[in-house]
Amino acid sequence: MKRIKDEKLLKKYLSQINLDKVIDEGLYDFIDIHSFDIHEALFSEDDKIEYLYVLLEGQIGVTPYSEMGKFSILDIVIPGDIIGDIEYFNGDNYYYQVVALTPSMVLAIPVKEMEKYLSQNVEFYKYTSMNLAKKMKRTSHKYSRTMLYPLKNRLAKYLYDLYELQGDEISGIGGSQTADYFGISPRHLRRVLSEIESEGIIKRKKNIVEVLDNEKLSQLASYK
């Protein structure tokens, strides 16, 4: 992680995410921009919450704890999303590991300074509440729609999302975490992967799924 201290850049990003009129300038000295390389963790599961993050650029994945280099994505964070808000308001440690899926930049607001500068800031809490509501709506829509489609299509969508992030070779697909994500047994997961493989769309190797035909995978995954 690289820490960037640049007030001009900070003001630019605060304006970009509509926080420039919400955050008191007295907090500027404490806010940093953090830069993360691909696959670098912002924090791990059960770490003590130190920052409230806002994604500025890149893509970040919320993942259960996994071995280095393996991904099982519960959700993908998009620019403008706040990270750590639920844990902060519940007074808990971070629930999941959060990893940069691409080179990413985040706004890092120290929790200690939030208590001092933002505890009485109604506009800030309005901003975080609206952001949380948008995330809940997006997640609810995602899961309510996906439950209407067969597992094969949902798995193809999952694979295609990872293909766009990792390239032709996708790691960490055959384990229990992926099966848990879909609420199925590892045996059932292997059976559906085998079905997709028999159509020449993917090829399974040890701990890796290689995408052979991304167009067919996209077609199988393209439900709305």
* Domains of the chain from N-terminus onward: 2-145 (2.60.120.10), 151-221 (1.10.10.10)
Take residue 81 and report the two structure tokens written for it.
Answer: 């999303």
Please enumerate in sequence order all residues whose Cβ is within 8 A of that of 63, keeping only pairs 6 or more positions apart, or say none: 71, 72, 73, 74, 96, 97, 98, 99
pTM, full prediction: 0.69
Distance CA 76, CA 92 (A): 21
Distance CA 213, CA 193 (A): 14
Q: Which ranges of the chain have pLDDT less than 70? A: 65-73, 142, 145-146, 172, 174-177, 180, 223-224
176-204 pLDDT tens trace: 667 767 778 889 999 999 999 999 999 99
pLDDT at 204: 92
pLDDT at 71: 52
Q: Are 52 and 88 in contact (CB under 8 A)?
A: yes
Question: Which of helix, strand or coil describes residue 18?
Answer: coil
Distance CA 84, CA 98 (A): 10
Distance CA 124, CA 88 (A): 14
Q: What SS3 string covers 148-214?
A: CCCHHHHHHHHHHHHHHHHCCEEECCCCHHHHHHHCCCHHHHHHHHHHHHHCCCEEEECCEEEECCH
Question: Which of helix, strand or coil describes residue 102?
Answer: coil
In the chain, DSSP assigns E strands to 2-4, 32-36, 41-43, 51-57, 60-63, 75-77, 82-83, 97-100, 104-110, 169-171, 202-205, 208-211
